[in-house]
Amino acid sequence: MAFVVKFKPAGFTAAKYQETIKQLIAAGAGAPKGRTYHVCYGDPNDVDITDIWDSMEDFQAFGITLIPIMNSLGVDPGHPDVQQIHGIIIG
């Protein structure tokens, strides 16, 4: 069962997002198992993140790497909005 996970971390800038991605890649988690889609968008001073995950187990496993990186950058990831996906149409 797939899930959409939306984040709106307070004060998460585009620059901090880029640094997070850089550190995730260095940690071998740039393309984590189970994440089928990722997008960062919005105001460069306060970005939003939306991911599509195959399972909550995959998402939670990724969090073990992600959360310490975000915390090291002074970002509180907060609590994501997680919803079950009922359908996806591509194209």
What does the pLDDT look like over 34-76, one tens digit per residue?
A: 999 999 999 999 999 999 999 999 999 999 999 999 999 999 9
Q: What is the pLDDT of residue 82?
A: 97
What does the pLDDT look like over 16-31, one tens digit per residue?
A: 999 999 999 999 999 9
Q: What is the pTM of this model?
A: 0.92
Domains in the chain, please, with CATH?
Answer: 3-84 (3.30.70.100)
What is residue 13's three-state secondary structure? coil
